[in-house]
Amino acid sequence: MNVVLVDSGGANLGSVRYALQRLGVEPAVSGDAAVIAAADRVILPGVGAAGPGMARLRELGLVQPLRDLRQPLLGICLGMQLLFDGSEEGGETCLGLIPGQVRRMPESPGVRVPHMGWNRLQSRRESPLLRGIDDGAQAYFVHSYAAPVTADTVAESTHGQPFAAIVQRGNVAGAQFHPERSGAVGARLLANFLESGVA
């Protein structure tokens, strides 16, 4: 299988690559639109802020090629947030592949932002991405911004209030948590994406 990791400049690029290698897949790492367009599966990792993340994609000339993909695409952490229409973080316009605005998580007594640590996944609807993942399984999160729970939400989590933890719309999917740091649950999600895509 031809799997391409988009060279988005995120610090989690190497760890996502290693997680895929543990599953027996050697992904290409590329910022070349033609290489990405020829892939069987595309993964968009990312950490940090929406502005620099989108600036990197624009610099590489990847905004429209990513919008045009018809094969399965998985965004991870910031990569998931960039799939949405936009982000409150800097008022950034994103890829527009999934409707909705990413917003800063509200702080309240006992609810710290950034949200860091393990949290439960609650299934919202069936998806191949959840195959073999128990409802209530835990995954590892590090983020200050989050996507809303909508009809495209496959699983949600709660930190003060509910937010989208896994999303899917057509061939496009995203995980707000870090599968590469989430043990067996993260490995299962990646394996499901590789095996089934998001159809």
- Whether 20 contacts 184, CB under 8 Å: no
Q: For 94-131, how does the pLDDT look when each residue is reduced to its tens digit (9 = 90+)? A: 999 999 999 999 988 888 999 999 999 999 999 999 99
Q: Which of 89, 85, 187, 180 is nearest to 133 (CA)?
A: 187
Catalytic, 180? Answer yes
Q: Which of 77, 89, 115, 156 is catalytic?
A: 77
Cα angle 181-185-189, degrees, rounded to a multiple of 5: 95
Domain boundaries, the chain: 3-196
- Whether 4 contacts 16, CB under 8 Å: no
Catalytic, 143? Answer no
pLDDT at position 199:
59
Cis peptide before 52 (omega within 30 of 0): no
Q: Which of 89, 92, 156, 180 is catalytic?
A: 180
- Give the CATH number of domain 3-196: 3.40.50.880
User: What is the bridge-based pairing of β-strands 172-175 and 92-93?
Assistant: unpaired
User: What is the bridge-based pairing of β-strands 172-175 and 84-87?
Assistant: unpaired
Q: For 139-197, how does the pLDDT look when each residue is reduced to its tens digit (9 = 90+)? A: 999 999 999 999 999 999 999 999 999 999 999 999 999 999 999 999 999 999 999 87
